[in-house]
Amino acid sequence: MSRRTRIITTPAPGGPDALKIETRELDPPGPGEVLIDVAAAGVNRPDVFERMGLYPPPPGAPEGLGLEVSGHVRETGEGVDHLRPGDAVVALAAGGGYADIARADMGCVLHAPQGVDLIHAAGLPETVFTVWTNVFDRARLQPGERLLVQGGASGIGTTAIQMAAAHGARIAATAGSEDKCALCRELGAELALNYRNDDWETALRESGGADVILDMVGGDYTARHLSLLNTEGRLVMIAFLKGARVELDLMRVMLKRLTLTGSTLRSRSKDEKAAIARAVETHVWPWIAQGKLRPVIDSVFTLENAAKAHARMDAMAHAGKILLTP
Ligand X SMILES: NC(=O)c1ccc[n+]([C@@H]2O[C@H](COP(=O)([O-])OP(=O)(O)OC[C@H]3O[C@@H](n4cnc5c(N)ncnc54)[C@H](OP(=O)(O)O)[C@@H]3O)[C@@H](O)[C@H]2O)c1
CB-side neighbour CA atoms (13 Å) of 60: 8
- Residue range at the interface with ligand X (CB under 6 A); choices 101-109, 139-147, 233-241, 275-283: 233-241
Q: Which of 132, 136, 195, 285 binds ligand X (CB under 6 A)?
A: 195
Q: Which helix (H) or strand (E) holds 48?
A: helix 45-51
- Binding to ligand X by residue 5, rule CB under 6 A? no
Q: For ligand X, give the closer residue by CB, 77 or 176.
A: 176
Tell me if 313 contacts ligand X by CB under 6 A: yes
The order of strands in the sheet holding 259-262 is 191-194, 170-175, 146-149, 210-215, 229-237, 259-262
293 binds ligand X (CB under 6 A): no
Q: How many residues does the chain have?
A: 326
As measured in angstroms, the least distance from the Cβ of 30 to ligand X is: 25
Q: Is 153 in the site for ligand X (CB under 6 A)?
A: yes
By the rule CB under 6 A, 216 interacts with ligand X: yes
Size of the site for ligand X (CB under 6 A): 27
Closest separation in Å from C-beta 253 to ligand X = 21
Residues 6 or more apart whose CB falls under 8 angstroms from that of 325 comprise 39, 40, 41, 119, 300, 301, 302, 303
Q: What is the CA radius of gyration of the chain?
A: 19
Comparison of 194 and 207: residue with beta carbon closer to ligand X: 194
Least spacing, CB of residue 175 vs ligand X, in Å: 4
Residue 325 carries which side chain, given as an amino acid letter? T
Nearest to 55 by CA among 46, 65, 44, 42: 46
**Does residue 184 belong to the site contacting ligand X (CB under 6 A)?**
no
Residues forming contacts to ligand X in the complex (CB under 6 A) are 44-46, 126, 130, 150-151, 153-157, 174-176, 180, 195, 216-217, 238-239, 241, 263-265, 313, 316
